[in-house]
Structure 1
Amino acid sequence: MIVSGSSYWLHELGYQPIFPQPFGTLPDSNKMLITFVEIGLFDIVKTLEIIGGLMLVCKIFVPLGVVILFPISAMVFYNAVFLNQRYDGILSVTYMGTACLYMNVVLLLAYIRYYLPMLKFDAEMGSLSDFKRIPEIFK
């Protein structure tokens, strides 16, 4: 994610990218990616790739980083497999379009204990006094 996001921003800033940004080999994939660029969503996605990737590499707020990167990896998977019709890569761990999602799912499962409290069926709303607990995060 860091390499992909950095490559995009290097190109946007006028430098040589690490690798050229593919914009889909089939029309539907191309339409989706070009639309992301036109509406400004691609800039946000590439920035979040860098931020989320750095969170994982630096081991800072890792569960949050995994959650940030999950929808991005899901869209990469959708684009790579379904929009580009690369069904042969669906089980491949070397095809980046699928490996990205699979690695993210493994990380989600590895950090499941941090997500389980969010799945409480009858969760009660917090209060302003909960903000006093924020320093506990940094201990």
Structure 2
Amino acid sequence: MLRFLQARGAGDAAEDLLQELWLKISAARTGPVAAPEAYLFRAANSLMIDRYRARRQAELRERDWVEVNGEGDRDVSDAPLPDRALIARQQAELVDRTLEELGSRPAAIFRRHRVDGVPQRQVAVEFGVSLSTVESDLRTAYAALARLRERLDEV
């Protein structure tokens, strides 16, 4: 069976395929098999066909991906295009202004929690306010940013 798989093109993966074949056959709930040897070879052949189809599909996906995304030329920068960088900077400035319009404490609490990743309870201790105040300031900031996003999406 190992030689059959190798002859069919399994190469170094023949032993792995033989193991996979064994697992499939041992897990299958079949009745008595009239020609066990033919059954094994047919199962091995089906396994090779499945392997070929999977490899072919992977090659097609890879080719399609390369066509869409390019070869990944090493001379091309991964940096965003200038227009996208400009838009991102402008949107960051809008977010900053929106937060500052809320007041210094809500803006600082938002940044400390969302940007720095500090838990709300610790933010409350650092700012000397209650946890409910932190939650309230965060709700206010989230609402303001949601309104900003709606405005940007309309444009």
Where relative contact order (Cα < 8 A, 6+ residues apart) is larger, the structure is 1
After TM superposition, the score normalised by the length of structure 2 is 0.26
- Per the normalisation by structure 1, the TM-score is 0.28
More helix by share: 2
- Which structure: larger Rg? 2
